[in-house]
């Protein structure tokens, strides 16, 4: 499966400008791509003032994503601010070429920035199926919590979309590789670049890692579209040969009630 990652600067609290930017970038992607991945909060940046950029599941951004998916016959995923049932969510939507939508609400809200005071946490892990692949959807701070992402479903691809700042980029690199190795899966991480309203700097490091921790796409620092080919046969052969997942421990996740 060929995937395309868009590493981009994000205009603060300006959905129209960001959609126009991503529209142009997406039109540059060749037809072979099966999945396009955008960063976290790609219409707004990582804001704790969601009112200017929030919309519902019938809003303009969702309609635009559906149109892109149907026109280019490609799946597309990225997170945006959704207002629903009187709550704000940092929601990762996965739009299929058919226009069908699955979504995952960020479970681990970033308390250091006060995200837990503004947004409602998700309550469930999300593994979707696309083109024969089982894909686990995660957002940014989720990366620091390996129990929640543990591969108990035999998923094949783990996706993280993020606004992860330069000051902690070493942790991003280390943890992405750890998630790939411990879960015996491909890991794809898409981060933004540039600076935001809070004067945080972002250096990207979007990347793709295989089940043994090797790069299919090394961490990137420039603005652009980056691609990689995922090989299901290779993944399954490695799992069969090494069989590490057969030795994983059984456990039950107890959700942190303090975040709810």
Active-site hit among 66, 115, 120, 140? 140
Catalytic annotation on 223? no
CB atoms within 10 A of CB 171: 12
Q: Who's near 43: CB < 8 A, 6+ residues apart?
A: 10, 14, 15, 18, 19, 53, 61, 80, 81
3-state class of 112 per DSSP? helix
Catalytic annotation on 136? no
**Cα gap 105→26, rounded to integer Å:** 24
Alpha helices in 49-190 (DSSP H): 60-72, 115-118, 146-149, 169-183
Active-site hit among 25, 66, 106, 125? 106
CB atoms within 10 A of CB 234: 13
Q: Who's near 74: CB < 8 A, 6+ residues apart?
A: 29, 33, 34, 35, 36, 68, 97
Catalytic annotation on 40? yes
Token couple for 232: 């299901």
Active-site hit among 40, 55, 120, 211? 40
Active-site amino acid positions: 40, 106, 140
């Amino acid at each position: 499966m060929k995937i395309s990652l868009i590493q981009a600067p994000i205009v603060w609290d300006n959905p129209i400008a960001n959609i126009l930017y991503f529209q142009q970038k997406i039109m540059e992607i060749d037809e072979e791509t099966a999945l396009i991945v955008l960063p976290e909060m790609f219409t707004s940046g990582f804001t704790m003032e969601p009112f200017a950029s929030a919309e519902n599941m019938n809003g303009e951004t969702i309609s635009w994503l559906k149109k892109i998916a149907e026109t280019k016959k490609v799946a597309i995923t990225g997170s945006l601010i959704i207002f629903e049932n009187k709550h704000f969510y940092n929601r990762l939507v996965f739009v299929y070429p058919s226009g069908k939508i699955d979504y995952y609400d960020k479970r681990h809200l970033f308390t250091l920035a006060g995200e837990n005071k503004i947004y409602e946490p998700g309550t469930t892990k999300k593994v979707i199926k696309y083109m024969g692949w089982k894909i686990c959807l995660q957002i940014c701070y989720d990366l620091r919590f390996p129990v929640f992402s543990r591969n108990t479903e035999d998923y094949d691809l783990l996706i993280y979309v993020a606004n992860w700042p330069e000051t902690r980029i070493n942790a991003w690199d280390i943890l992405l590789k750890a998630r790939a190795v411990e879960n015996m899966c491909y890991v794809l991480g898409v981060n933004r670049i540039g600076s935001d309203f809070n004067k945080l700097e972002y250096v990207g490091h979007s990347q793709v890692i295989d089940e043994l921790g090797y790069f299919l796409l090394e961490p990137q620092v420039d603005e652009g579209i980056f691609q990689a080919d995922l090989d299901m046969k290779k993944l399954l052969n490695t799992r069969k040969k090494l069989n590490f997942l057969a030795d994983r421990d059984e456990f039950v996740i107890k959700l942190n009630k303090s975040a709810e």
